[in-house]
Structure 1
Amino acid sequence: MRATLRWAHSDLRAHRGEALFITLATAGIVVSLLLAAALFGYATNPWQRIFTQERGAHVWIHTAPGADARKLARLDGVESVAGPYPTESATVASRGTRAAVELRATPHLPSVGRPLLTAGRWLDAAEPGGVVLESRLARALLAEPGDTLTLPGTARVLTVEGIADSAEPGYSPGSQPGLVWALPSAVRAPNGQVTGVRLSDPAETDYAVQRAVTVLGADAVGEVSTWQQGRAAAQGENRLLGQVLGLFGLGALVAAALAVHGAIGTRIRGHLRDLSVLKAIGFTPGQVVRIFLLQHLAYAALGAVAAAALTEGLGSRVPGRLGDAVGVWQGLPGHTAALLAVPVGAVLFIGLTTGLAAWRAGRVSPVPVARPSAARGARLTGVARRALGLRLPAALVLGCHKAFAGRGRSLAGVARLTLPLLLIVVALSAWTTLDRFHGSPARMGLPAALTVRSDGGLTDSGVRSLLAADPRVADAYPGVELAALVPGQTGTIALRGVGTHARPYPCALAEGRTARGPDEAVAGQGLLDLMHVRVGDWVRLTVGSQQPQILHIVGRSIEPQNAGRVATTSLDTLRENDPALSPAFYELRLRPGADPRRVAAALTAAGGGHLDVHPVTNPADGLSPLRAVVTGLIAVLALIGLVELLTAIGGSVREGERDVLALRAIGMSPRQITAITVTATTCTALAAAVAATALGLPLARRLIDAQGDSSGIGAGIAQSPPPGLLLLLCAGAVLGAAALAALPAARAARRRLADTLSAVG
């Protein structure tokens, strides 16, 4: 044991840099995986906890006021029913912020879908104007218990009595109204009703919706929302961040394990004589294997323990969503198990690859074997001989030949270096896609910057005149959005009529063409998946008591809203089916350089309080933590690439020691000999960078588009990094390899002849 420790200590002193990089890389990998576990827990468990505690309804059905929703309680598979509750669509304002809401007349605290109070108290009959706000709506309005809300255009005033969490989809400006629980006396103009249905088997949700629509009648059903939609809305971007961290963490773990495997293999080839001596003085093969295995397990364990301690102690203090996720995750039941399993799993995986490489050290013969006079593959190829015949620099030719002489070993070295560089290319692609959402939203399905709604205090012509008077507004597209039942009546989608035949709405298309003629529409990926149709098909949608709307899907749009379950046609097309339709909102496209917030403030002031103007929600706004995540992942991957480069340089220098005498004998100077090693390392890095770019770009596109498909946005959002950035990455890898190789290569080239002879012998 004492001799084993002395060997490990001497090896550590000789390879301090490599040990440090392996430890830091392991720490970064484990931190990434722990943060991914925290984000997954943060995305799923809070919603599940709320849904369980409030006995959430699996289906919420909005119907016309006269529908007999009591029939739902008699359906097979229905466990209990909440409501029906009369509802009123309204707009409330607080501290200069306006929000579209649904006032829900709730005479008493329900047993199904029971809101969980987080502040204040429940409704009291002594306060007929009191309301309870859903928590996301309260945050948007900056409202607290005791505050008052006004309904613009009316003299009505509501008092906030409490704030509550709910498992229903939360408030989202422009797409999902906020939920407000109120006494029946406060809901003065009900225009619908909502009923919650709790099922005995949640897996039968689609069938239950179909039965409910059949019983109530399609003309009575306005909108249907399910528990799956509420869960997806609650998970939001947190699950995506967790997937990104988990994917890159696992990829980095594989890259780190391969780098350690390559480092041990190179070290074994360079210390065959020392290993033979260890065997000769009594070391067993098992002890030799344990030397390498325990040494690298110690590096990995040190990094993993440091990562776990750092995440546990400081993770909740990170500002923003990551800190919140870690704080919530630390209170969840599976936190301790994940905190132990992730580091242990990472260490064991690195130990497995280490053991496979160290096993070769145990097979070294105890009798020192003289190294062959010529390495396998050292004979010059025809290409190298012709290059020398063309009087190309000998150092350049021999360096390139050296880099690719031993095909298997050279390809393995290139492959190990390619993996971290490939993951960096994928990370840069994710960064570029996120930037494109912010910088060019029109190309990512968000051509409009503002949405304008009137509370009825202005006529439609008055709204159009007001919008036309602002020189910063380039175009104003009138629109209306309806809830439509899909064939089979298992759910609702958003049917939007925006723009006219003369001035069509500029949808961002990923497939097909724009909707120009009557009955033509474009659809998001989520709708195509839900209805099992594709571009070119005809679809039949039911909107209330109107005649079925039959549309020809001529294109697939990039649709970031409503999980892609949106069909977009022109307002003229919808008016053919319902001539009484009038614009419910206007989508505004601004001129280049116009600030959406300033334009929104100016329009709100010009409308005299009768306009609700808010920016269009950009899904990339919630992914701002992804920038910090990508930066950290690139740093970890760079460390892994650095370990691999150091391994390649060390192996190249040691294998070149046997050639120093021959090169000096033919008249090459130490500078030329140094250039051979530097060129060999540079060629390896260049080949890895080119392979990483060639493989990483299509892989990144596939991964990002797959994520777009799963979220309903659809494929076609992936963006490749700028060529200049890729060129900078390749140049950085090549120049970094050359800089790292220069010093050890120069030292080896200037060694004394006696030292060189001892190394060769």
Structure 2
Amino acid sequence: MNAVWRASRAAVRHRRLQTFVIGLVVLCATTTVLLGLGLLTAASAPFDKAFDQQRGAHTVAVFDLGDASRAQLARTARRPGVEAAAGPFGQAVLDMPEDWLWMAPGSLSVVGRADPDGPVDRIRLLEGRWVGAPGEVVVNWPVGGTPGPGLLGTELKARGAPTLTVVGFATSMSKSAGAWVSPEEMDRLRPTTAQMLYRFTNAATEQQLRTGLTTATAELPADSLTTAQSYLALKRAFSAQADAYLPFMTLFGVLGLVLSALIVGNVVSGAVVSGHRHIGVLKSLGFTPRQVVAVYLTMVCVPALVGCALGVLVGNAVAGPVLRAAFSGIETGSASIGVSWWPSAVCLLSMPALVVVAALIPAVRAHRLSAAQAITAGTAPRAGRGLRVQRRLGGTRLQRAVSLGLGQPFARPGRSLLTMAAIVLGVATVTLTTGLTSTMVAYEKAGKSDGAARIQVQADTSTRGRAAPEASDRQTEQRLRSLPGADRVTARALTKVSLSGAAQTVFANFYRGDTQDLASAIVEGHWPAGAGEAAAGPAFLRQHGLSVGDRVTVRLNGRQAPVTIVGELMEGNAQALDFDWRTLAELDPTPQAAEYTIRLAPGADPQRCVEAIGAADPALRPTLLRSDNAATTTVVGFSSVFTVLLTAVAALGVFNTVLLNIRERRRDLGMLKSIGMIPRQVMVMTVSSVAALGVVGGLLGIPLGIAAHRLVVDHVGVVSFPESMKQVWHMPQLAALILSGVIIAVLGALVPARSAARLTIAEVLHNE
């Protein structure tokens, strides 16, 4: 083994180009695979781990106390299929008239619990302490970190309820409540509903959850169950945005893996062919066939291990920003978001194994060669291979250098196919990135195609008089419309409402005024045009099991209104519904806008408008909206980076192929130069030998890239792209993409072509 290692180390030093190509290919592939696995892990494992640690509830069920007593509810814990249960806990919905702790006004679900522990849904205390007396409340903090001890002691003043003092902040992975009070305080609130928390023995699917809940509540009066929330819906909400990044990360990972196998196989195959005499020397020195195979496998594995290790380091460094983008705005609770250890371990073990498998077949060729055959074999291809094609090309009107170059791929068909496959994947990657960029740019410009500037104005309702809120609200809107340069004004009220079938409250956006830009984001149905109509994004509809045309009941301030889902938005908050202002008027007699959006006319000065708003009313806080989009920046940025890397790898594969061809054809080059071929013709011949492969690779890679683009955009769960954003291909663009295959091939061939052109006749004819 010592001799094998010395021979392998010497081969690595002498074949620096091949070593560099293998290391770079494996580095790029490892990085993309690690990012894909990291996202996949973060999209599920953190939730499952935190959920299990807190003994999260598989189902949060709310019952009407007028139909079922507390004793009847307690008996459901002993029903078949119930692994554990907690409750019944009294539940009430408070009406918060103003912003509280940066939360929107509206409904607040409060549950009475004596302590945070229990067999189901153990509440994790983040700051302060648990409630110990009436008048105290612990607020649910659904995101990572803590709000800070400075907010302890804040008073919450709900309409028609006693004032509550915040004594702690906590989090529940079950999202069973917005806040918790003591049972004594809950009795003062006179709850009409009670909450039961269940864990079932079988809870892997929605069907099993429904079966378990039906069995547990079989002895209760009919219609006593008002709402039931599944933990699977919470898990989908947790991973929704991360899942959106998985398709394109997975595709780039697969492209990197396949490209790695092709390039490594090509490089090692070329190393075996060009190293015939080296193999013969090794065997004549006493190396057995297995030792020769070990030399070539070790020669490949050394750079592969280095590239894999560097790829793991780069992947872990890049994973942080990717995960922050993927989980931005998501309620993560106590789940710790980060890259687990096992994706790194998988990459460190699997990538070198993949390289070994890719290199094994060409390395076996070294096993079969005898010492005499290897030493006496020339470096040129076998006589007669490809000559028929070259003769036919020679009879055409093409320049002699071009016809000779076009015939060279047929001399080594296996190597040419591997090179063309690398070009196909490179073109497919460029096509995929081009399509994604076009789609994401169109998505970012949705509703903003006019390029007009927009100003968002926050209304500080706590500093404005509330004697006549409707008049004040309307006056503010009219004042904004009269500003210089103002074209359209949209008013928005934000509140939290209770939704039938959901234990948690959801955000509700109510719009008034010029909603043309909002309506342009509808991909199915239409924008809400009156009372009782709503629209939502694909994530909200999927997590709540709704679709366009379904009806739900919305509750606010003790009032309720039936609402029909009339439109699906291109995107939207997974916990928010959009309504027309007239729906709010049915739920709240004194609606107030919390925010206004002003679209400026073309040529208007945004800064002047911002200054005018501040001077008109100090209670208004204007902000100039930026047109950038985090999702667009992330997708386009990482797609571009991986495209550059994979294209460079494909070009390096071409580089290696051309270099091997030149080494094999040194005698031919010397003969051609001796009969008058000039350096420029040598370059043309060399570049032509791969240009045809580039054209064919472009023609084959474009459909593959288009199919990959459609696969990605059709499986982005948080965005529903309209067909106009998917059909981004046009003839000039497709023609340019065909040229990308030629560009990849030419870029890879230029450097070795120049070196071939500079060779002297004496040098190329020197007997090896």
Superposition TM-score tier, normalisation by shorter sequence: 0.7 to 0.9
Q: 1:703 aligns with which of 712, 716, 741?
A: 712
Taking a change above 3 Å as real, the CA distance of residues 103 and 495 of structure 1, as seen in their structure-2 partners, is closer
Alignment partner of 1:637 is 2:646: yes
Distance 1:592 1:334, change over 3 A: closer
Mapped pair 1:48 → 2:52: no
Corresponding residue number in structure 1 for 2:324: 321
- Residue in 1 aligned with 2:348? 343
Q: Does residue 1:358 correspond to 2:363, yes or no?
A: yes
Cα 1:513–1:238 change in 2 (3 A) is closer
Task: Check conservation: 2:261, 2:354, Cα contact below 8 A.
Answer: yes
Equivalent of residue 85 in structure 1, options 91, 96, 115: 91
Q: Deviations over 1:344-386 (max 9, x none)?
A: 1111111111112212232335423464444325634757644
Equivalent residues of 2:38, 2:319 under 8 A apart: no
Within-5 A mapping of 1:30-45: 30-45=30-45
Amino acid at match of 1:179: G
Partner of 2:25: 25
Separation in 1 of the partners of 2:736 and 2:447?
26
- What displacement does 1:647 show? 1.7
* Counterpart AA for 2:352: V
1:690/1:509 CA distance change after superposition, 3 Å: farther
Change (3 A) 1:220 1:275: closer
Partners of 2:351 and 2:480 lie apart in 1 by 59
- Looking at structure 2, the residues matched to 168 and 599 of structure 1 have their Cα atoms a distance apart, in angstroms, of 45
2-structure distance, mates of 1:437, 1:664: 57
> Structure 1 503/241 Cα, relative in aligned 2: closer, same or farther at 3 Å?
closer
User: Compared with structure 1, are the counterparts of its residues 706 and 99 closer, same or farther at alpha carbon in structure 2 (3 Å cutoff)?
Assistant: same
Q: How far off is 1:158 after superposition?
A: 5.7
Secondary structure of the corresponding residue to residue 648 of structure 1: helix
TM-score of the superposition, structure 2-length normalised? 0.74
Deviation (angstroms), 1:414? 1.1
- Answer whether contact 2:420 2:694 (CA < 8 A) is retained: yes
Q: Call closer, same or farther: CA 1:756–1:397 in 2, change over 3 Å.
A: same
Check whether the contact 2:252–2:642 (CA below 8 A) recurs between aligned residues: yes
Matched, 1:134 2:141: yes
Aligned to 1:561: 573
Q: What whole-Å deviation, never above 9, does each CA across 1:622-650 have from its counterpart, x for those lacking one?
A: 78665664455345424522431222221
Rounded Cα–Cα distance in structure 2 between residues aligned with 1:617 and 1:212: 52
SS at match of 1:591: strand
Residue aligning to 1:16 = 16
Spell out, residue by residue over 1:522-565, the C-alpha distance to the aligned partner (whole angstroms, 9 max, x if none).
77656876899988xx6565668999969697x754243338x9
Cα 1:580/1:493, change in 2 over 3 Å: closer
Calculate the aligned-residue CA RMSD, in Å: 5.6
Which amino acid is 2:195 matched to? T
Q: Given the superposition, is the C-alpha separation of residues 304 and 232 from structure 1 closer, same or farther in structure 2, using an over 3 Å criterion?
A: same
Aligned position for 1:295? 299
Tell whether the 8 Å contact from 2:173 to 2:334 is kept in structure 1 after alignment: no
Aligned to 2:57: 57
**Deviation (angstroms), 1:707:** 2.8
Offset of 1:672 from its aligned partner? Answer: 0.7
- Alignment correspondent of 1:476: 490
The residue type paired with residue 355 of structure 1 is L
Is 1:181 aligned to residue 180 of structure 2?
yes
User: Residue by residue, what CA displacement relative to the aligned partner does 1:414-453 show, whole Å, maximum 9, x if unpaired?
Assistant: 112322442354345445555555443669xxx9997989
More displaced, 97-106 or 150-159? 150-159
Aligned counterparts, 1:382-397, within 5 A? 385-388=395-398, 393-397=399-403
- Contact preservation (8 Å) 1:484, 1:541: yes
- Residue 227 of structure 1 and its aligned partner are, at CA, apart by 0.9
1:128-177 superposed Cα distances (whole Å, 9 cap, x missing partner)? 355434152986x677453635659999976543222220359xxxxxxx
Residue identity matched to 2:446: S
Query: Structure 1's 597 and 213: CA in aligned 2 closer, same or farther, altered over 3 A?
Result: farther
**In the alignment, structure 1 residue 675 sits paired with structure 2 residue 678:** no
Contact 1:451 1:616 in 2 (8 A): no
CA contact (8 A) 1:484 1:542 kept: yes
Q: CA deviation at 1:743?
A: 3.8
For residues 339 and 29 of structure 1, what CA distance do their matches in structure 2 show? 13
CA distance in 1, matches of 2:249, 2:628: 18
Q: Does 1:231 align with 2:239?
A: no
SS at match of 1:379: helix
Map 1:369-384 to 2 at 5 A. Answer: 369=377, 371-376=381-386, 379-380=389-390
Matches within 5 A, 1:533-552: 539=550
What residue number does 1:199 align with?
Answer: 199
For the pair 1:113 / 2:126, whether they are aligned, the reply is no
Q: CA deviation at 1:757?
A: 4.2
**Alignment of 1:463 onto 2:469:** no
CA distance in 1, matches of 2:650, 2:242: 29
Aligned ranges 1:524-673 → 2 under 5 Å: 525=538, 539=550, 557-562=569-574, 590-592=598-600, 621=630, 629-630=638-639, 632-661=641-670, 663-664=672-673, 667-673=676-682
Cα deviation, residue 310, structure 1: 6.6
Partner of 2:755: 747
Contact 1:167–1:231 (CA<8 Å) still a contact in 2? no
Three-state SS of the structure 1 residue aligned to 2:424 is helix
Q: 1:2 and 1:107, CA in 2 relative to 1: closer, same or farther beyond 3 A?
A: closer
Tell me, yes or no, if the aligned pair for 1:467 and 1:473 is still in contact at 8 Å.
Answer: no
Structure 2 unaligned residues grouped into runs of 5+? none
Compared CA separation, residues 688 and 243, structure 1 to 2 (3 A): same
Structure 1 stretch 641-650 or stretch 287-296: which is displaced more?
A: 641-650
Cα gap change, 1:361 to 1:253, in 2 (>3 Å) = same
- Match for 1:440 among 428, 433, 446? 446
- Count of paired positions: 728
Aligned counterparts of 1:547 and 1:123: Cα–Cα separation in 2: 31
TM-score after normalising by structure 1? 0.75
Q: Distance in 2 between matches of 1:732 and 1:542?
A: 55
